[in-house]
Structure 1
Amino acid sequence: MKKTGGDVDEFVAAVTPPKRQRDAATMVALLREVTGREPEMWGTIVGFGACHYRYPTGTEGDMPIAGFSPRRQATTIYLLRTGAHAERLADLGPHETGVGCVYIKDLEAVDDAVLREIVAEDYRRVVAGETGDTEITVLD
């Protein structure tokens, strides 16, 4: 994955439907505050910071340290491992999960403080190198 250099504000302004656009603006503010970094476009992902990963299988690449994408059906929040947040996710409110993603259909329906804690903890773990068997090198 690579940074694409797009304008984050223009991207968010073009998000549809309006609820997803509202949620995208909320996520930009939340991740900016939690990470202390400015957002950058990685295709259709709004990312904060950059890192290089290498799985035990040898697969490697670059990705944002924290990020989200306002998909049509739900806002996708990218995490290192959702299993590491199982206890907090139980308190989040309506959502679905994948191995490294949390899908939220309406940010107003979830607990903002819990979401903030989950994202902040995941970010802290990546920056600290607490990533299990995945090698992570923070690039910026």
Structure 2
Amino acid sequence: MSGLKTQPNDASVDHFIQSVDNEQRRHDCLTLLPIMQRITQKEPKMWGDSMIGFGQYHYENRSGRGGDWFITGFSPRKREMTVYIMPGFDNYSALLEKLGKHRLGKSCLYIKKLSDVDVTILETLITQSIADMESMYDCR
């Protein structure tokens, strides 16, 4: 078990999505959920109280400490939707150029609303990131 504060739990993904106040963000969650299920072939799981993750992998950093985390997922944050692309974005610049309106963090793709992006490109980005994760880690 990792020392991470955020852990997978048995909270209801559906209940969480229905509790999202912002109607647009809730709709975007209901759109992303089946897309990620289809791509990952995994059931969604709540991580902490606000992240929906798919699959799992174990990592270790250079100091030897490690933990478990989801392979991909999303979170309907107050300001925008966060899509987690765990390998980061170094290998995806061509896709990002075609994606549409977004901003990036280290492994976070921030989208105000799904209608701002090309969902087909987003699906390709998620698919490629999962393949990259599977080549680097023993993913479950």
Match of 1:132 in 2: none
Q: Kindly tell me: are residues 82 and 16 of structure 1, through their superposed partners in 2, closer, same or farther at Cα, counting changes over 3 Å?
A: farther
Give the RMSD, CA atoms, in angstroms. Answer: 1.2
Over residues 70-116 of structure 1, what are the superposed CA-to-partner deviations in whole Å (9 max), with x where a residue is unaligned?
Answer: 10111101112122211111110000001111000010121011000
2:32 — aligned with what?
27
Structure 2 runs not aligned, ≥5 long:
1-5
**SS across alignment from 2:90:** helix
Structure 1 residue 87 and structure 2 residue 68: aligned? no
Pair 1:137-2:101 in alignment: no
| TM-score under structure 2 length normalisation | 0.89
- Kindly provide the amino acid, as one letter, of the partner of residue 106 in structure 2: V
> Secondary structure, in 3 states, of the residue corresponding to 1:125?
helix
By how many angstroms is 1:118 displaced?
A: 0.2
Equivalent residue, structure 1, for 2:41: 36
How many residue pairs match? The answer is 133
Give the letter aligned to residue 109 of structure 2: V
TM-superposed CA distance for 1:16, in Å, is 2.0
Structure 1 ranges of 4+ moved more than 2 A: 55-59
SS at match of 1:91: helix
* 1:106 aligns to 2:106 (yes or no): no
Partner of 2:131: 124
What SS does the corresponding residue of 1:126 show, helix, strand or coil?
Answer: helix
TM-score where L is the length of structure 1: 0.89
Bigger shift: residues 103-112 or 82-91? 82-91
C-alpha distance in 1 between matches for 2:57 and 2:113: 29
RCO higher in structure (CA 8 A, sep ≥6): 1
Q: Does the Cα contact within 8 Å between 1:53 and 1:137 map onto a contact in 2?
A: no
Identity across aligned pairs (percent)? 32
Match of 1:6 in 2: 11
